Amino acid sequence: MDPFNVAALKFITNMQPRGWNILHYGHESAEVPCENLVCITNQELPPPENGDLFLHKPELVSIYNQRATAHIAARKQPGDMILCFYGLANKATTEAHSDLKIVEPSIGYPPDTVFSPYRAFVSYSQMHYYYGVHGKLLSPSWFDAVIHNAFTPSEFEFSAEKDDYFVYLGRVNFDKGIDLCIQVTERIGKKLKIAGPTDTLAHLSYSRIPDHVELLGYVGPEERSRLLSRAQCLMAPTHYIEPFGNIVAEAQFCGTPVLTTDWGGFVDSVVQGVTGYRCKDFNSFVEAAKIVHKLDPNNCRIWAEQNFSDQVIHDKFDTWLKKIHINNFYA
C-alpha cells in the first residue's frame, strides 16, 4: 500500500538486469533482489502484517541515516550514486558523501522536501510545482526528468466485458473525493464499490452506508485486478493535486476507463475522451459518467502498456542515470 516502497522495489528489480550494481540500505526484513545492508532491525521496527501500512517512526530516521552513512563509507567507489527515494528524510545520509552524485529518482512528495541536484518527478505537474515553489521558472535543470511510476502488465487482468458498477480504490478520505463518487453514482443510478481500509463512512459524516454503495475493505492484488477489470469505470476525483495517482494507470491496464479531476498527475495519465475523462465540476462528472462506457477498453490497455509498463519506465531510468553518470549535456 506504500507507493514509495513499491517504486524502490521495482527500481531494484528492473535496473539490476540492465547492468546497474545496486546496494539497498534498509530494513532487516526487506526482501530485495540485491544485497541488503541492515539499517533498521526487526526489534526496532517490526515488519507490518499483510495489508497494513509500514508505519514510519520519526525517532528512527536519525538512526537509519547514521547506519546508512557508515555502510556507504565502507563500500563507496568513485562515480557511485546515492539514490534517495524518500526525499528530505534521506538527506543526512548524503551529507558525508559529497563526492558522490545525489539523486532523487521518484519525486511524488512535497517540493519543500526535495534537496538533491538530480531529480526525476513522477509527473510534469509535480516538476512544475517544484520549479514554482523554488523560484526556478527561469532556471530549470537540463538534468531533471519526468519518469512516471512503473507497473507490471501481467499483474493486471484485462477484460473488455464489464459488469454494471463503478469502483473507487484507495484511501477512503474526503480529500480523495469519496463524496463525489457517491453523489455522481447516486445521480445516474449506478452501483459504487469502494475498496479501501475501512468498513464505515462515519468519518465522512455518513450516518449510514448509502443503498447503492458497497464497502469491500482492503483488497489484495488478485482481487484488485478482478475488481478493476470488470468495472465500467474507476472514479478518482481527488480534491488535491495528485502527484501521479497509481490507481488510474492500474485501471487502464485492466481495460477500464477513468473519471478524474483535471489537475496533477491525471493530466499525464488520462487521455481525454480516449482512456477517460478529466472533469471540472459536478455536472461534467455526471455527464461523463453517463457516456464513459462507450470508451474502448483496448485503448486503455494499449495506452497503459505504451506509457507505464516496467520496460518503458526503466528504460527511461537507464537513459537518465547514464546521462547523470557521464555528466555531459552534449553526450
Q: Give the three-class secondary structure for 192.
A: strand
Helix (H, G, I), strand (E, B) or coil at 105: strand
Longest CA span, the chain: 63
Domains of the chain: 3-150+310-326 (3.40.50.2000), 159-308 (3.40.50.2000)
Location of C-alpha cell 538530480? 118
pLDDT on residue 51: 53
Residue 34's pLDDT is: 97
76 touches 102 (CB < 8 A): no
Q: Say what the pLDDT of residue 53 is.
A: 58
* DSSP secondary structure, 17-48, as one string: GGT---EEEEETT---SSEEEEEE-TTTSPPP
Work out the end-to-end distance of the chain between its first and last CA atoms, rounded to an integer number of angstroms.
39
pLDDT along the chain (331 residues), means of 10: 87 97 96 96 85 70 96 97 94 95 96 96 98 95 97 97 97 95 98 95 95 95 96 97 96 98 97 98 98 98 98 98 87 62
Q: 102-141: buried (b, 16+ CB within 10 Å) or exposed (e) per residue?
A: bbbbbbbbebeebebebbbbbbebbbbbbbeeeeeeeeee
User: How far is 160 from 153, CA to CA, in rounded Å?
Assistant: 16
d(CA 7, CA 226): 23
